[in-house]
Every structure is written in structure tokens, then in C-alpha cells.
Structure 1
Amino acid sequence: MRDDQNPKKLNEIGEAYFVGLKTDKNIEIAYSYFKQAADQQNPIGYYNVSRYFAEKGDYKQAILNLQKSLALGYSKAALKLAEMALEGTGMHKSKSKAFKYVLEATSLNDIDGYNILANYHLNGLGTKKDSKKAWEYFQKSADLGNSEGMYQLGMLYLSQKQNQKNMESALHWLDKSATNLHPLAIQEIKKLYDTSHSYFSKKSSSHRQEMSFYYEELYARTNNIESLRKVALTYYYGSQITKTNVEKAFHYFQILEKLNDEVGAYGMGLCYLYAKGTPQNVEKASELLKYAAMKNYPNALTKLGDIERSDALHPADYEKAKDYYFEAAKQNDSEALMNLGLLHYRKQISSSTNDLAFQYMEQSAAKGNNQAYYWLGIFHEKGIGTKQNLGLAEKSFEKAIHFGNVGAKFKFASLLYEEVKNAKKPSKKQLQSIKKSLSMFLEYLKDSDSSSSNRLFSMAYIAEAFSSGLGVKKSERAARYWTERAASAGLSSHMVLMYLLLKDKEFDNAYQWLEKAIKQNDSSEAYYELGLLYYEGSHGFAKDEKKGRSYLETSAKMNNAKAVEKLMMI
């Protein structure tokens, strides 16, 4: 027999035409293939021929071919006949006849038949209600690994008296069904964790949330759009329960994108843009984000604005970035509003104003953008688009800190410190503020997301506090420790301080710090001190007024007042 005349192959070709799989749908051509299979006494061929006649509305022929299929031992034909008997399709409605057909399917060991027969017994369809037999058939189905049987058995246990044994059995079967990606089982067991069922009263909230997310991810694997979105975004951004996993995020975004979902396209765009879970490809990111934007996803417009604001694809085009942000802002995207504010603040676009910078930032914060509070703090502190108000600046920074903005912690702490430092006679309340600011500097230093430059200044502030005794007990030892930490981390001003601390007792060590500061080429103090060494010929240096004057002049050019004064006197 040629391969194309094999009943299995004939049914496959016929099925493709019947449903239009990779070809135009044509049930007449499908019938010709099904008929060839049936003519070889193939039970599935007869079953498929019955589908053709049912589609044409010829139920007499449909039933006749189902009966032929059943006679050849095809259990699905019995289940289809049961369905037609129950609904009265092509025959008189008859629950008892439907029951007999289902019974016949189970005699052929059809697992779906076990589940259907269990439901007939459970609901008294064509037979007396018999919950015991319903349990038996669901158990039989479940034991054979059928996810529907497992689900139904789990639900039966769940409907019983809520004791530990029944709950354990319910969870056992629902979990097995869920693991086999049965959607209803996943939803049911997830609901038990989400609603804090009394059975889990001894379990922690974090455990219940972990389990809920576990089943959410199982549900995502059934290609449920909402679950795919939730899981992808959770892995991308992370949560209190779930660690960030950009590789998994990219995987789920890919699935969504293949389903033509805008969140999938947006997420993949982010991954390509920031090299999260995949190598960076800004061009591909731009294409995906444009697709998401076309499907009215405003966040995508904002990210397209970010691309235009950078040099990633071509020289930065701030005007084009503004256009993208403006379109996103019209759809109430809070990040776009914040970025519009920054474009105005940084004078990167035409007709930029501080007033608009402040207005956009206020709107962004009002719409829930937590990062905008950081910038409002900056604007209030500097008087950008509004009157300078340190009190409002502090409140804005506090809000930003509450929402997890690390930079705001440094800004708030330094604002408190400078306010007290500049006070002629600090009050008790202000001195308490210093303690608060020092505590925040220490917290900032422990944060892995803190910026390197602000870490240096945090150390410098702490060193200064211990050196002056402002708000803390004066301690030369602590001051030196923090000064050395700041110097070792690269702060040139504190390299000079280390030089000044050590020069009278450990000059060689002190001079090494001064040399390091000179190499930084950003410290007027370093050039001033080196100029004095050469001009005065102190600490073993051969006096060289010309060289000393040269270093002092370099310091003066860097606006060092002491160097300017010294040069005027020599």
C-alpha cells in the first residue's frame, strides 16, 4: 500500500482540508480522503465521514457512520452518539440512550468516557444518582493519569467535610491536575492560596504568595494572556516574593509576542533595549516598541522617546523624543510626563521653561510616578519653576525614599546636614536631624544601588561630622577612619585632608596621598599644598620658588581663594 493510501495518512490529509490547516478549508475534498479511509474499514475514517455529514446537516448519515465506527471498536464514536442522544440531534432526546452509549465507551476503556460516566452518576443523567460510582469512575480516570479525572476528584474531596484528610486529598489531586496544566485545576488551587484558606492558617503570607505565583506560572504555560503578562512582568521587575529573572521574563515576553500581544512586544523591546535576558539590539527594540505603540500601549511611546533621547541608534534627537513623550503623556503615561519635565529642566528642547518643567513633574507625581518626587525635591531645593522651599524639598525627598528611590536618600540626608551646618546656633531639633542624616548616609552606603560619587560625599559628610562634633561626639579617630575611606574610594578633597592629617607625623605616607590627589587633576587644594611645599621648602623639600609659584598659579586658575591670596603676597 502506498503511503498516501494509508488510512492514517488519508485521515490526516482530510483533517487539514476539513479545518483549513495550512490550506484552504474544503470539506468536500476532506470527505474524499475520509471516505477512502472508511472504505478500508478504518473506524476513524467512518468517524470523520460522520463529521462531514453532520456539517452538511445530514444527521441520519452521520449517525449511520458513527455506528459503523463504534462497531469497529472506536470509543469516541460512542461518546459522540451519547452527545447527540442527550441533545436530541438527529434522534429523539434520550438520557437513558446517552447513558448506554457512554457505558459502551467505558467498556472500550475510554478515559474520557470514565469522566463523562462519573458525571452522569453524579447528576443522575439517564440513571439514578450514585455518588459512590461517580467517585469510582473519577478515581479510575485519575489513576490512569487523566487531568480532568484528577481535577474532578480533587473537587469532590474539596466539597466534603473540611478536615485535614479531605483537604490533603483535594490538594493532592488538584495539584497533580494543575501540574498537567488543567486550567480549572490551576485556578481552583490558586484561589485556595489567594483567599488564605483556613487549611493554610499556619503557613506564612510569603509562602502562600510564593505558591500562588507558582500556579500563576503554570497557568501562563496554558497560554493564558493575563497570566503570561503577569508572570513576564513579575520576572522582569521582580517583587517582594519573586526575584528578578530576565531570562525567564524574555521567554514569556516572546510567547506573548507570538500571540500578537502588545505587552509581549513591549517587554521584548525592553529586553533588547537594555540587554536583559538577550544581547542588546536597539534596532530590534525600536521595531517591537513601535508595534506595541501602534496597538495603543503608551509605555512603548515613552521608551521610543528614550531611544531618541540617547545616542543608541543615531545622534540624540530631543525634539523627536519630546514628540513621543507628548503622545504618551496624552494617554496619561506618568513616566512620559516626568521625561517632558526633564527635557525642559535640562534646556534640551526649543522653548523650554522651568515653569513647564515643574508643572510636568507635578503632574507625573500626581499620576503615581514615584521617581518624579525625587525631581520635585530637586526643583523645590533649587527653586526650579517654583519658589525655593527647603521644607517642600524635604517632603518630596521623603516621599521618594518611601517609594524606594535610593538617590533621594542621599539628597534628603545632605539637605538636612547642610541646613544644620549653616545654622548659627543649631536647635535640639536640628541636632536630631543631623543624627537622622548621618544614619541615612550610612544606610545609603550599604545600598548596592547607590552611585559611586554620592557614596564618596556620604563618607565625606560623616567624616566632617566626627571632625567638628556636629550632632555626634567629636572623634578624631572616627573622623580619620571616614576621611581615609573617602580618600581610598577616590575623593581627591579627602586625599588632601589625609595629607594634612598625616604630614607632621607621617610625612612620607601623607605625601603619597597628596600625589594621588594631584593625579586626579581636579583638586585646587592639592595644587595649593604642593605649591607651598616647593615655595617654602618645608618637610625636606628643596626650596624651589619658581616651581612653587607654578603650582600655586594652577590652583588659583581653579579658583582657589587661598592660592590667589598667597600669590598676591609674594
Structure 2
Amino acid sequence: MGLGFMYASGIAMNVSQAKALVHYTFAAIGGNTWAQMALGYRYFSGVTVTSSCEKALDFYRLVADKVSQGVSFSGGSAIQRIRLLDELENGYSTGILDNDLIEYYQLLAEKGDIQAQIYLDGSDEITQSNETALKYFKKASDLNNPVGLSGLGLMYLYGRGIEKDYAKAQKYFLHAAEQGWVDGQLHLGNMYFNGIGVKKDYKLANKYFSLAAQSGHVLAYYNLGQMHALGTGMMRSCSTAVEFFKNVSERGRWGEILMQAHNDYRNRKFNEAFVQYALLSELGYEVAQSNAAFLLDRNEVPLFPHPDGLVRALLYWGRAAAQGYSPAQVKLGDYHYYGLGTNIDYETAASHYRLASEQQHNAQAMFNLGYMHEQGLGMSKDMHLAKRCYDLAAETSVDAKVPVALALFKLNVMSSMQTLHESPLTSLFDVDEAIVNWDLYLITTLIAILAGIVYFRRPRIPPQAA
């Protein structure tokens, strides 16, 4: 696995995707989870191999099986996903904790029922006690608390400190599920899926698993992945199954490397941060791909200085964009527009901006398309389409209103100058030069206006008495 990563990323040796694939394959056959993820991602995305959903499914299912076995019904591991590009542009951390377990315990604490789950599972500090847990769950369920209802259903389901009763378990889970509580939804789906105390009903199982998945529960993703992979109670969908299993796989403990990489970045250990992001990029983590590209883009990786770094950044931006990250799609357009890590290609740049605009409603991409229509770069020169793109950008994002207003003002100036160019007044002065240098004239005018405002608003100093 290590050799495969080094060949794939070009760290300490020349890049060879063929050798990387060989090493990943042997590592995966040997049971290495990371190699299985790397191959699952490659076959699903068609990265250096012919795309094969079925092969991707095989590898991702192996990993998802392992991850699901280590997840309790109460949640999964916490993974912090911080995109460095968003953090830079927004001025704050956009990281989220992909973990319902955090929310679970927060709600327990808010409701005063944290003692129940600790006593139910037991810990190093607290001795497991069904009797104590039952007492707390009953107290909460009497108040129609969904946590208490779900917990009581759990105890009836497994006969923990009370006689096993599937009918009562189903009733309590249903009451909790109706209040939107993820554990109740998950347990109810599990009962219908396996026919525990109720008649098997895959449609209802799918309903409750889907509700639990909306809250980000790992086991809900896993169960839905199994149903889509086998076509249980629904039409089989390999791609949907892979997406669910990929989500489960990325909840494995190795996801904690994301947090370590971010800490290293904060401590200006750029090489260390990059290597960790590059590793997780190979495993298919989109956030790692965009962060690896970000570091290379800013020339912050001593291992790969520019211009080599830009070539590699282009590759990572491409992988992140393929997974739906719209700023990465815009970055691809920028790289082709300015010739960063590749040749200048306005048509390709426009195609990337168009994808980000139409599929992901990215305001920056809309604005860029407007400018390219205005200038006739990579597409036909069309002032009407330019205005339409600018307007869409302003409607999509509040932040785009000011630059759009300036761009529209510019379009009006250009339109007026064009009208003047076509009039008999053309012969009186050089309109072509005015059109070319309109921005210089505009800037000069604005500076003059600003200077006038400053001059007339300056404080008046009264004359000193003799």
C-alpha cells in the first residue's frame, strides 16, 4: 500500500500509475483496507483505470463491512471535514463534524438523560447497569422524550433488564421516530428489514433507513447500501450502493488523519499536511483532494514547488471537481484560462465554468462566463448573454452584487461607445481608442470624484488669532 501511494503521488520517486495500481491490487488482495478504498475510488471514478461500478462495489463493500462492525446503534466516529479554500475565502472554519454521535450526546445532555446511555453501555468510569439505565429511560419516556422512548425500546428489543417484548419495542421506536429521532428510525427500519416482531416490509425498512440517513447515521448508510446492492425491496442500483458504501468507508477511524493534517497545516508543517491529504486523496476523500490542491496552488509544499506543483494541483482540483465540489470546478476553469499547469485554453475554461454554473449554481462561474461572453473568449461575443450571466450571478450570491453592478455599468458604457462608434460623430475623434481604454478613463474619473469628495469633506481649521 505504501509503495502504491508513493508511485501514485510521486513522492520520493517518479509517478507511475501503472505500478501504483499493481501495488494497490496486491495490498487489497492481502486485506489492506486503505488499498481496498483506493481501488474502490479508482474504479468508481475511472481514475487511471476503466470505470467499473461492479468492481468499485466489491472493494467498497469490503471496507464498509469492516467499518459497520465497529459502529454501535448510537453512532459512529467523528470526522472533521475542513476545506482550506473555503476557510480562506470565508474567513472562518467551514468544517463540520460528520457524526450523529455528537448530536446524540448533546441532546441527551440537554434533556438531562446523559446518565441513561452511559449506564446502558458502560465505560471505564461507570459500571454498566441495566437497572439504572432503565430507570432513566422510563423517566424520560414518561415526558415523551424521544431519547427516552428510543432507549426504552432498545431495552425491550434486547431484553436488557426487562423481559424481551418486540411489540413494545416497536411501539417505543415508532413514537421516537415520529419525533424525528434518528435512533428510533434506525431501529424501526432494522425491525422491518429483518422481520423482528413484525412482518418483513422492505418498503418501510427503506423509509426509516432513509430518514436515519438524513441525520448522517453510519448504519443507515450501510443498510441502504446493502439494499441497493442486492435490489432488496427496490430496483438494484450499483452506483447508489457504491455511494452509500463509500460514505460508510470514509467514516472509518483513518478519517481522523484529516484533523491531524489540518493541525499540521496550522502549525505550518506544510509537507506533513500535504502528504496526509495526498494519502486520503488516494482513498477518495474529496475534501483531502481539494486541500492537497489548495496547498500546491499556493506554492506551500516544498516537496513540489511551482511549476511542477501547479501541474499536480490541476490533477487534484480535477478529482475534487468530479466529486461535486464546485469551487474546484471553477479552479479548473481558472487554470485553463490563465495557463496554470497547462496551456491557455479559453474553450476548456469556459466548459468548466459552464459546468459549475449549470450543475452547481456557482456565482463565480456565472460571473466568469459573463466576462468571457463579453470579451468573446472561448465563445461567441454576445453582450446579451453576458448580461444574463452577470444577472444570474447577482441573483445567486449577495457577494456578487457589487462586482456585477460594476460589470453591468461597464457593459452600458461599452454599448454606448459602440453606438457612438456607429454614429457620424466617429470622424470627430478616435472612438476605437476610447473603447479600448474605457477602463482607464473610468478609473481616472472615479479617482477624480473620490479626490473631490475627500477635499470638500476635509475638516475646516479656523484661523488662529494674532
Q: Settle same-fold status: TM greater than 0.5.
A: no
TM-score, normalising length: structure 2: 0.40
TM-score between both structures, scaled by the size of structure 1: 0.34
Highest RCO, 1 vs 2 (Cα 8 Å, sep ≥ 6): 2
